[in-house]
């Protein structure tokens, strides 16, 4: 099997196109024609096809190959490696529309080149356009359009020219200028590895020829250092800062700065396992570990760089996002944002414009970004993020948005915005304790959208001795009760509307007063043993089992209700 070879050039490409236009067949052919398949795969697949009475498909080779590669733990299942005489390739296959977007957003954006496959017989489809748009959105500049299934149109130059003209006009609007349009028949292997006799009128490169002709972006190593910290390990008495060098190079003796805080130190050594691996420089693309002179408390998410070429640091940036969540992407709601190895909470501060990704028409800015919409937004996070413009650095210029537990969207950073004043998120504070006060959130049923909206006033803060509003528009608590803000590990006792104690969850013991969780949902534990069981089960609950836990232990409608509203966002 092909292995990536560090000394050879590697080019990452993504293959996209409408379903059934031949992506898998093209890739299967590439693997077959370049002898990249593991021994026996072709025979195995042919045999299975025969046994099941199905015609042989090159696409099946891909499945077999992916199966094979999955066994090597290093490989992402959606990525295939193969090589030509010239260099190594990593192909990102896009099995379906949704997977495609997920892959693009979460991993394939550092693909340097994109191949858009169009069925010559079916012509340009809506989804072909959508995929092209995504390529442009993600800033993939090196694009080839491949007209597949030329056998079905008698290798007609006329059809080729018609589709080429249509696509060129469309792509120009997106500022995508394909390097070339390549006619092929993946199924029959025409113009894949070698130019085809049947396509004599075509003067350009074959598919593989075109791939090999792409100039790789030189000098990722020569770009500014970006070394996001993945983890800090302790071995013996050494602390090793581990991560992948995304760009630039780092060597022993370098004076580095660790962002966002800007802590300065010097590289003492580069970790190695065996003496023969000892080295004093590591470069872009390498996963490595370094040991530094000063021992700070370093953690995942920080980014190492040189001060002369430092990344942007802010809690606000302008970005293009692609949304694929079922729930709308809305303002004033908290989302998890993952950027390189950083994970922060953030929200949409402003929606500048929304585009329908299938028609590419601008939409009325309703304040809500719907599934498959693309929008230009300003995002604000609750702590500083270290990033670059996507145009300058792919890995540190791209992020993913998580809604609940799902990756629901992603985006690329267009520009940094000035740092925003942070909103005070903590509502209950006492000495060093801080807890979120989501018990004062209002719940509205939006009759225009058939959805539930939440509203919260961020500017309120309460401490021991304060009287709290025990009723709002959509909630009414008892005059005396206890709030357990589980995620902040804080308990709040309220007696006759007054906060009497704010303590840690560990210090809290069952009182017999009604209990709510941090969102004001009634906890169904009314006796000491029930309370103990609740706490015990909570301690064993991870993210995956949270829903189950909540359904078992908390009740929404004891103190809360949902009230009807027109359009919440217009208030
Ligand atoms: P994908 O959904 O884009 O991955 O498409 P597949 O690679 O699975 O191909 C869909 C169908 O088109 C399969 O039945 C292929 O055999 C067929 N196909 C792919 N390429 C060609 C081609 O060049 N010529 C013909 N005639 N059929 C093709
Ligand atoms: Mg396929």
**Ligand 1 pocket, 154 CB below 6 A?**
no
- For residue 5, report the distance from its CA to the centre of ligand 2, in Å: 27
More confident call, 526 vs 409: 526
pLDDT at 543: 64
Percentage of residues of the chain with pLDDT beyond 70: 88
**Mean pLDDT of all residues in 232-246:** 86
pLDDT digits (tens, 9 = 90+) for 421-467: 766 566 898 988 889 878 998 888 877 667 777 777 666 789 999 99
For atom 18 of ligand 1, which residue has the closest CA?
A: 22
C-alpha to C-alpha distances, 255 to 250, 265, 280, 378, 387, nearest whole angstrom: 9, 6, 14, 34, 20
Nearest bound ligand to CA 17? 1
pLDDT at 66: 66
Q: Is the pLDDT of residue 324 over 80?
A: yes
- For residue 101, report the distance from its CA to the centre of ligand 1, in Å: 21
What DSSP assignment string belongs to 483-541?
A: EEEGGGTEEEEEETTEEEEEEEGGG----SS-EEETTSPEE---SHHHHHHHHHHHHH-
Convert 16-40 to b/e letters by CB count within 10 Å (16 or more is b): bbbeebbbbbbbbbbbbbbebbeee
Within 10 angstroms of residue 179's Cβ, the number of other Cβ atoms is: 16
**Ligand 1 pocket, 25 CB below 6 A?**
yes
Residue 128 near residue 116, CB atoms below 8 Å = yes
- For residue 20, report the distance from its CA to the centre of ligand 1, in Å: 6
116-125, 323-332, 373-382, 444-453: segment of lowest average pLDDT: 444-453
Strands 263-270 vs 255-259: parallel, antiparallel or unpaired: antiparallel
- For residue 227, report the distance from its CA to the centre of ligand 2, in Å: 35
- For residue 527, report the distance from its CA to the centre of ligand 2, in Å: 57
Nearest bound ligand to CA 66? 2
Q: Where are the alpha helices (DSSP H) in 18-125?
A: 23-33, 41-51, 58-70, 97-106
- For residue 29, report the distance from its CA to the centre of ligand 2, in Å: 12
Which atom of ligand 1 is found nearest the CA of 184?
23
pLDDT at 80: 79
> Largest Cα–Cα distance of the chain, in whole Å?
89
DSSP 371: T
Residue in 16, 59, 153 to alter for ligand 1 test, most ligand atoms within 8 A of Cβ: 59
**Ligand 1 pocket, 350 CB below 6 A?**
no
- For residue 119, report the distance from its CA to the centre of ligand 1, in Å: 9
How far is the C-alpha of 191 from the C-alpha of 197, rounded, in Å? Answer: 8
**Ligand 1 pocket, 24 CB below 6 A?**
yes
Nearest bound ligand to CA 28? 1
Q: Is the pLDDT of residue 333 over 90?
A: no
**Mean pLDDT of all residues in 207-226:** 87
Neighbouring-strand partners of residue 116: 16, 145
Residue list, CB under 5 A from ion ligand 2: 23-24
pLDDT level of residue 369 (50, 70, 90 thresholds): very high
Residue 179 near residue 107, CB atoms below 8 Å = no
């Amino acid at each position: 099997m092909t292995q990536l070879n560090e000394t050879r050039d590697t080019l990452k490409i993504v293959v996209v196109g409408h379903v059934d236009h031949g992506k898998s067949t093209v890739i299967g052919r590439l693997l077959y024609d370049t002898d990249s398949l593991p021994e026996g795969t072709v025979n195995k697949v042919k045999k299975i096809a025969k046994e099941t009475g199905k015609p042989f498909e090159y696409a099946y080779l891909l499945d077999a190959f992916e199966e094979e590669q999955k066994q090597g733990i290093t490989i992402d299942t959606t990525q295939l490696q193969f090589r030509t005489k010239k260099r190594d390739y990593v192909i990102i296959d896009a099995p379906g529309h949704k997977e495609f977007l997920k892959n693009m957003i979460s991993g394939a954006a550092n693909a340097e080149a994109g191949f858009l496959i169009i069925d010559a017989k079916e012509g340009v489809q809506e989804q072909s356009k959508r995929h092209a748009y995504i390529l442009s959105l993600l800033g993939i500049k090196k694009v080839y359009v491949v007209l597949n299934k030329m056998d079905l149109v008698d290798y007609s130059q006329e059809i080729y020219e018609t589709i080429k003209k249509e696509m060129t006009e469309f792509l120009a609007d997106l500022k995508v200028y394909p390097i070339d349009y390549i006619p092929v028949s993946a199924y029959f292997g025409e113009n894949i590895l070698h130019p085809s006799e049947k396509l004599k009128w075509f003067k350009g490169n074959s598919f593989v020829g075109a791939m090999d002709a792409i100039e790789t972006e030189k000098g990722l190593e020569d770009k500014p250092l970006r070394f996001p910290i993945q983890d800090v390990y302790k071995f013996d008495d050494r602390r090793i800062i581990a991560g992948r060098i995304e760009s630039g190079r780092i060597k022993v003796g370098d004076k580095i700065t660790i962002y966002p805080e800007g802590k300065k130190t010097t590289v003492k050594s580069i970790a190695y396992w065996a003496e023969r691996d000892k080295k004093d420089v590591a470069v872009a693309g390498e996963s490595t570990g370094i040991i530094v002179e000063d021992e700070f408390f370093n953690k995942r998410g920080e980014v190492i760089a040189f001060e002369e070429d430092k990344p942007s640091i802010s809690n606000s940036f302008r970005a293009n996002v692609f949304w694929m969540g079922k729930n709308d992407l809305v303002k004033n709601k908290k989302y998890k944002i993952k950027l390189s190895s950083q994970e922060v909470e953030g929200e949409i501060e402003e929606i500048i414009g929304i585009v329908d990704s299938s028609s590419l028409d601008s939409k009325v800015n309703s304040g809500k970004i719907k599934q498959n919409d693309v929008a230009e937004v300003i995002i604000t996070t609750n702590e500083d993020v270290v990033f670059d413009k996507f145009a300058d650095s792919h890995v540190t210029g791209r992020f993913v948005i998580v809604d609940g537990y799902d990756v629901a969207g992603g985006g690329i950073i267009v520009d940094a915005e000035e740092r925003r004043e942070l909103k005070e998120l903590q509502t209950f504070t006492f000495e060093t304790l801080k807890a979120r006060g989501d018990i004062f959130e209002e719940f509205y049923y939006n009759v225009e959208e058939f959805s539930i909206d939440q509203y919260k006033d961020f500017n309120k803060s309460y401490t021991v001795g304060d009287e709290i509003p025990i009723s709002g528009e959509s909630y009414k608590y008892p005059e005396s009760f206890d709030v357990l803000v589980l995620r902040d590990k804080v308990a709040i006792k309220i007696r006759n509307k007054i906060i009497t104690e704010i303590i840690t969850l560990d210090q809290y013991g069952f009182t017999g007063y009604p209990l709510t969780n941090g969102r004001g949902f009634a906890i169904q534990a009314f006796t000491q043993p029930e309370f103990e069981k609740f706490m015990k089960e909570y301690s064993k609950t991870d993210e995956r089992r949270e829903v189950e836990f909540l359904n078992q232990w908390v009740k929404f409608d004891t103190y809360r209700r949902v009230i009807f509203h027109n359009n919440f966002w217009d208030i």
